[in-house]
Structure 1
Amino acid sequence: MNHNAATDTLPRRRTPGDTLSWLPTTIGRRLRVFAWLSFAAEVLIIGTGGAVRLTGSGLGCTEWPLCTPESLVPILEVQGVHGAIEFGNRVMTGVVGLLALAVLMLTLHVISGRRLVLRAVWFALGGIAAGVAVYIAASALGLPDAALMSAVLLLAVLVGAVDSLRQTTERRDLAVLAWVVLVGVMAQAVVGGFAVISSLNPFLVGFHYTVSLLLVCVTALFLVRLRAQPGRRIPAVPAWFSITAHLTGVALALTIVFGVLTTGSGPHSGDIDIQRQGFDASILAHVHAWPGYVLAVLVLILAVSAWVLKLPPRRWMLVLVVAILVQVGVGVLQARTGLPPVLVGIHMVLAALSAATYTVVITRLKKPAA
């Protein structure tokens, strides 16, 4: 792959005054740094979200978006460390959102100059104005003001994304991924609010984690596409290898889904006063392990095949082998030691990193057409 051709130039015409001087006009170091920061933040928030749940701090802030009915921040004398942990995760959500916004603005400016950036800013300002108006009206009518305001803001972002993508003609892949991350982060804030309001409904909490994991994969894919040569792509591996790789993805997805259900039925409910009902965690732990072992076998087969045949994904397959084997080891160890919170938290983060690595592997199944 020609790195300079793929990442540092975007052939297009620009008119004088079409750029904002402080924003980059090519895919260079600044955009890559912010993209890496966005990826790291998405991984980190899984860790902080896990800490909220595993320390029983899920209701450390009893309200949303406020922490208490009277305060945005926790009152340590009343809520103690649980309030601080929960509020810390909320602050991290803000950091993730700001980084996603920075990546989006940089990407839009690289693609088309200030035109799309300014349109996105106008949509944002309009959404904020509409959100404030809805909040005031809902408060006066006794309706759920914060929820309605959040819905309006999310709708404004969705409309802005559609408008932006309709006008994007170059590197639309980067624009789509950047918008998906920003929309996903905003949606996550809403889902997190409903999780608190519903007293940590296990399905909402599980969905919250799953979406966070998917956002890690999307930010990883964005990093790959930054360095990829645009244009048509053709298969770089035999058909059987590609089919097996996608079947491996099914095994990975099943492992993660059953892992989420297992955690949701286990002892770490997020609050000492909340007891899980329904699924038997001991049975689910075995069900979770079955696709996990299948996944490990498939990954080993793919890794050996990739190295023997010298296929493009071979180096990332090695990384995936290490990630899955460590993940299996941590899973077995936590099951045999009574699910200590630290190991459960590591297991959650490793699942996201494994999924991100698999995402990179899939991108290596094709190569740019000559």
Structure 2
Amino acid sequence: MARLVRPLGWASLVANIAIVVTGGAVRLTGSGLGCPTWPRCTDESFRPHGELELHAAIEFGNRLLTFVLAAVAIATLVAAWRTGRRQLRVLALVLALGVPFQALIGGVTVLTDLNPWIVSLHLLLSMAMVGVAVLFLRRVDDPDAVWTRGRTQALAWITFASTWVVLYLGTVVTGAGPHAGDAETPRNGLDPLQISQLHADSVFLLVGLTVGLVLATRAGTPARRAAVVLLGVELGQGVIGFVQYFTDLPEILVGAHVLGAALISAAATWAVLAVVLRPAPAPVPATRVEATASR
């Protein structure tokens, strides 16, 4: 099963992105309280029924996807364990433990009637799991890569940190906006215009830092390619963000923006790892060592 570790790593990445998208669909369809309690869907049943059928089915479907995510995480953990590589075991364990932790936060979200700050935490944890899945894949492909330091590496970490500021502020904007997940859910009380402007400012800063990272990396290297991909995803996400803002937040564009946020997390993680991780120096052949010693 160890030979399946890479495909399962990709499956973990895709599944974690999918749970972000379906969670967004729950909110955008107003189905956040389709199942008004947790862990059951209603006080009497784990399954939706009756007058709650439509919204409950959407919310219940998202809950069921958690079991798919759990199955993928467990399979990834087993495959990683079979490799005997400690790093992969630890990362796979983090991915596996993240599933019940995420489910617990999801339950708190429902029990607090979709408190926007808890919803924000729920989304950010999924974004973090996307990043862990990317790190897992990098370690599968290059287990002996070593961490490096330098000005370019520092810029990569600053860009990565700025990415998370953008992601966090994006969740705050969501908490102030109209798509609460339920018509009766209160918002976070912040001014949508002001927080949207702050979010936009953070995006401009991130794009500027990413342009700097592109220029700081050497052409033709994996680091340059990763930085260019990150910049491309940022620009696409920025276009969607501006269009959705000036078109009164249509659900389809907001959903695309949610997907873009997950892709931003993946691309930012890939970019920082491409810059700060370098292949370990190749060992010097024993014959060369003996020849040098004999001189």
Instruction: State whether TM-score is above 0.5.
Output: yes
Among 38, 44, 49, which residue is 2:23 paired with?
49
What is the CA distance between 1:58 and its match in structure 2?
0.4
Q: What's the CA shift string for 1:137-158, capped at 9, x where partnerless?
A: xxxxxxxxxxxxxxxxxxxxxx
Label 1:182 to 1:359 Cα distance change in 2 as closer, same or farther (>3 A).
same
Could you tell me which residue of structure 2 aligns to residue 138 of structure 1? Answer: none
- Map of 2:9 onto structure 1: 35
1:80 is displaced (CA, Å) by: 2.8
Counterpart secondary structure, 1:208: helix
User: Quick one: which of 106, 109, 112 aligns to 1:192?
Assistant: 106
Among candidates 81, 97, 103, match of residue 76 of structure 2: 103
Is 1:217 the counterpart of 2:131? The answer is yes
Distance 2:89 2:30 in 1: 38
Alignment equivalent of 1:313, drawn from 185, 204, 223: 223
Shift, 1:200, TM fit = 0.6
In structure 2, what is the Cα distance between the partners aligned to 1:270 and 1:289? 23
Question: Which of the numbers 325, 350, 365 marks the counterpart of 2:235?
Answer: 325
Q: Counterparts of 1:229 and 1:87 in 2: how far apart (Å)?
A: 39
Partner of 1:69: 43
Amino acid at match of 1:66: R
Determine if contact 1:234/1:368 at 8 Å carries over to the other structure. Answer: no
What percent identity do the matched residue pairs reach?
Answer: 38
- SS of alignment partner, residue 272 of structure 1: coil
Task: Output the amino acid matched with 1:103.
Answer: T
Report the secondary structure of 1:313's partner residue: helix
Structure 1 segment 135-174 matched on structure 2, within 5 A: 171-174=85-88
User: What value does the CA root-mean-square deviation take over the aligned residues?
Assistant: 1.5
Alpha-carbon offset, residue 243 of structure 1: 1.3
Change (3 A) 1:254 1:273: same
- What is the TM-score when the length of structure 1 is the normalising length? 0.73
- Counterpart residue number, 1:279: 190
Aligned mates of 1:177, 1:303 — CA distance in 2: 28
TM-score w.r.t. length of structure 2: 0.91
1:242 and 2:153 aligned: yes
State the Cα distance separating 1:211 from its structure 2 match: 0.1
| Equivalent position amino acid for 1:95 in 2 | V
Aligned equivalent of 1:206, options 120, 141, 155: 120
State which of 220, 242, 258 in structure 2 corresponds to 1:348.
258
Partner of 1:13: none
CA distance in 2, matches of 1:59, 1:177: 33
Counterpart-to-counterpart distance in 1, 2:221 and 2:115: 45
- Whole-angstrom distance in 1 between the partners of 2:38 and 2:142: 41
* Cα offset, 1:353, TM superposition: 1.1
What's the counterpart of residue 268 of structure 2? 358
Task: Report if the CA contact (8 A) 2:175-2:188 is conserved.
Answer: no
Paired residue for 1:82, among 52, 55, 58?
A: 55
Contact 1:217 1:352 in 2 (8 A): no
Distance 1:292 1:361 in 2: 17
Distance 2:143 2:189 in 1: 49
Amino acid at match of 1:198: T
What is the Cα deviation at residue 312 of structure 1? 3.7
Cα distance in 2 for residues equivalent to 1:221 and 1:244:
19
Structure 1, gaps ≥5 residues long: 1-23, 112-170
Q: Paired residue for 1:154?
A: none
Partner amino acid for 1:52?
A: V
SS of 1:43's partner is: helix
List per-residue Cα deviations over 1:46-100 (Å, max 9, x = no partner). Answer: 000000111110000012111111111111x311311110000000011101110
Count, aligned residues = 280
Tell me if the contact between 1:213 and 1:355 (Cα under 8 Å) persists in the aligned partners. Answer: yes
Deviations 1:287-346 (A, max 9, x none): 1111101111111221133245x5440111121111010011111111111111111121
The runs of 5 or more residues in structure 2 that have no matched partner are 282-295
Corresponding position: 1:304 with 2:215: yes
